[in-house]
Every structure is written in structure tokens, then in C-alpha cells.
Amino acid sequence: MEIKISNISKLEWNGDALAIGFFTDKVQLSEALTELDHKLDNTISELIVETEFKGKLGCTTIARIGGNNSLGKIILVGLGKEEDLTVDSFRQAGGYIARVAKQAKIKTLAIAINHPDYDNDIVAQMISEGVILALHQDNRFKSDTEDQKISLETIDLLDLPASNKAIETAQKITSGVILARELVNAPANVINPVTMTETVENLAHEYGLELTILEQEDCEKLGMGSFLGVAKASDLPPKFIHLIYKPENTPKRKLAIVGKGLTFDSGGLNIKVSGSGIETMKMDMGGAAATFGAAKAIAQLKPDVEIHFISAVTENMISGKAMHPGDILTASNGKTIEVNNTDAEGRLTLADALVYADKLGVDAIVDLATLTGACIVALGNDIAGLWTTDDDLATQLKTSAQTAGEKFWQMPMENKYFDQMKSSIADMKNTGSRAGGSITAALFLQQFVKDTPWAHLDIAGPVWAEKSTAIDNEGGTGFAVRTLVNWALND
């Protein structure tokens, strides 16, 4: 499929379908659309009336054009209220249009959407992102994909004097989102610590990135007892992955992104029971997936920023070697942890990863993890939690997320809640009470960052979609990749 900028106007374009956007408060034809409507035998005006099209956000309608017209169909898409328009509105519109075109088996499509308040390159990038993500299909594990093939061959962006670089940027960013989606979607017998490492090795080779893999013995020498405690029960070796992107020029800043990399979480000896969603725990490496998805996009976009992508990758399994409830682990900064719940394992792996990142001398660290069900209870499935005590870093991430169309809500770092995690025989326990569980998880992680501005993102809800949306299909969403990329690109 090819997306390109076209200098042909919507009045002259010929092909299978033309898509046009309308706001809820402006579902009337402009002078140019009136001329097009007359050319199309009043198809547009009649379609608006017959379907009672109001321009509601995400609402679409399609009709065949009769007569001898060389344009096959017209697609109307609602953009919502004009005062609510954001850059993400264009991304969503591209997704809705692509889904209609796919269902109608359209081969050649044109999209005529722009707005005077928004840069044409931004609009072209957002529409392209929406189209690419909506059309992505993960058919790797299906035996017959013949009926899943996409008919779309070309998409022309009309009345939008943008550069081809905008489309190329969209393609690079979405390639990272798609990598993250497919890592999350892959079952634990396909993506495990060994194969995850192989995936990152391929990334490093393809894009010329530096890569260090710490094996179990290396982690033992560094005193990573917290990470290795989780890894003990698995038959597969743990892998500590450190991937580095360095720009050609002197970096303007240095960043670290740390992703939780549990390729499967059984809960350990505090095993997840039936009905707990254990069958979906292949997605517990969604933080690592977003980390390495962002790495793929950033390696192609080449910002003047040095970025360290880190994940302590393992499984949380059950065996005679398993970590017991009540065990005491010693992290690589010397802090001791009484394990009162083996199913709170992600924070144990992140603890050593954060200590490692904190020693790199970076300007900021962001960790992201499918860490707590409590965050889903608090914020639902669409919004991720953000914890930090650094206001500047919080602003950077919120701004990056807004452009990405990804929702975050800053949560409190209520230090008093850490009292729940005090242990009589160790420095801390790994969990507190159920109340405020996502906050105590963030407070736990804070104990392993000493000198560096740090933020924690709990992405447990948005990393997985139960049903398709404008741009996300059911399953892995690749959530947070776009936010992380924007954070890296913004000076």
C-alpha cells in the first residue's frame, strides 16, 4: 500500500472512493464541495440527508455514485465539534476511513481533510498513522489468511500541500507501534526471554545500535538478586537487555527508557486463579514491547538524543526452584525486600533495572509497565497512570502524550502510603494493602532511583484492547510507543 501527497484537487481526482470530513456544527457544503456535489449528481447532499449524517466523531457513511462519473464512491467521516479538534482527530479520522475502505474492498482511495489551524505536514502524518495502524493485521498464527488480504493499493492525500517526509515519519513511527503490538500479541511459546533477545539483536543489527546482553552470571556479579529471584523458577535463562541509540552529532540530552519484560506471568507460587486473566499474561511484557518499539522508530528518525532502552526479561513461573512467599531478596543497590506476594514480580525486576539505569548518568529515566490491576480499577482501560516528583518531566510526558493521542493521568506520590510496605525483617515488603495499590507500587520503585529525574508509567489498561477502535485492533495496541517517540524528539 502506498500513501502519497497528490496535487490533484478533489474535483478532478478519479478512483474508487473519495473521503471527506465534516464537523458536527458544519455539516453543509462549501463552495468547492457544492461544485463537487453537482458533478456527482448531488450524491453528497443526498447522502447527508438520507443517512441523517451529523458529523459526529467517528461516524462514517458511504455511497456509490451513479451515472457516468469516474469516481466510484463517496465516504463521509465525522470529525466531531470543531472546537474539540486536536492533532489526534486527524489520526482517528484516517483510521475510521481506512476501516470503511477495507470493508468496501476499495483499491484506490483519496482523503480530502485539512484545517487552516494545523500544519499540513502534521495533518498528513496523523492521517497516515491512522490509516496504517487501522489496516495492520496480525495474521502470523492463522493458517488461512486469504480472506484477510487488504485491497487498498494507493491512498492519495488531496488539498494538502505537505511534504513526503511527513508520510515517511508516520511510517517510521507506526513501524515501532506495530512491533510492540506483535510482541504483545505473540504467545509465551513464541516470545520468551531468548526470542525477545533475538528480536532486539535483529533491531541492533538492522539499525546499527549498540547492544549489551547481561546473562544470568553477569546479573549475579552485579548483585541483581531482586530480578534473579523472579527468574529462578523458569527453565529459560533470564536476559538483561541494554540497547543504545547514539546520534551522529553530540547528543542534546541522554535518556533511559526501562520496560517491564515479563514474557509470561503465572503469578508464581501466589498463582493466578482461573478467571484472573492468566491466559492473557503473555502481555505482561507490554512495557518492554513499547520500549523496543520506540527504539525501532527512534533509530529511523535519528534525533540528536542518546537513548538507553533497558529491560530485565524473564518469566514468572512455578517449580521447585521458585521464589517463595516470605523470601528475602537483595537488590543491586543493597536494599532488602521481603516478598509477601510472588505475583507482584514486575516491580522486583524493574528494581534492578532502575538501579542499573540510574548509574548511566542520563538526564531522565522513564519506566513503563503493566504493573497493577489497581491502576485499571482507578483509571479504566483507556488511561495510563503517571507518577513522578519532577514537574518538568511530568510536563514533557503529558505534552508528548497529547500529540500521540495517548491518555495519561498524573497520580499522587503519597509518601505516607509507603508505611504499608514496611517490613520487620527487611527494608521493605514488595506490596502494601489493596487500597492505593498502584501508588504503593510506584513508591516501591522510587526506592531504586537515587540521583536521576524519574517517572513511572503504569500502562496495564491501555496496552490491550478487548475490541477494535479507530486505529487499534483487538489485542496489543502498542500503547506508549508514540508518547516515548515524541518525548525523544522534543527538545
Active-site pick, 73, 99, 232, 347: 347
Distance CA 166, CA 169 (A): 5
HEC letters along 109-164 = EEEECCCCCCCHHHHHHHHHHHHHHHHCCCCCCCCCCHHHCCCCCEEEECCCCCCH
Among 97, 90, 104, 110, CA closest to 11 = 110
Cα–Cα distance, 357 to 335 (Å, whole number): 16
**Active-site residue, 347 included:** yes
Contacts of 230 (CB under 8 A, 6+ apart): 262, 268, 314, 316, 323, 345, 348, 349
On whether the CB atoms of residues 439 and 456 are closer than 8 A, the answer is no
Give me the sign of the Cα torsion angle 214, 220, 224, 226.
positive
Q: How far is CA 331 from CA 14, 184, 185, 476, in A?
A: 64, 27, 31, 31
- Compute the distance between CA of residue 3 and CA of residue 5 in angstroms, rounded to an integer: 7
- DSSP annotation of 26 reads -
What letter represents residue 131's amino acid? V
Largest CA distance in the chain: 84
Helix (H) or strand (E) holding 244: strand 239-245
Q: Which long-range contacts (CB under 8 A, 24 or more apart) does 56-60 make?
A: 56/24, 56/80, 57/24, 57/81, 57/84, 57/89, 57/92, 58/92, 58/96, 58/470, 60/96, 60/97, 60/99, 60/100
Residue 272 known to be catalytic: yes
- From 272, 335, 359, 398, active-site residue: 272
Rounded-to-integer distance, Cα 443 and Cα 437, Å: 10
Cell of 259: 520496560
User: Strand pairing partners for 316?
Assistant: 265
How many Å apart are CA 84 and CA 96, to the nearest integer?
A: 17
432 SS3 class:
coil
Nearest to 365 by CA among 490, 254, 444, 286: 254
**321: CB partners within 8 A, 6+ apart:** 232, 233
- Residues with active-site annotation: 272, 347
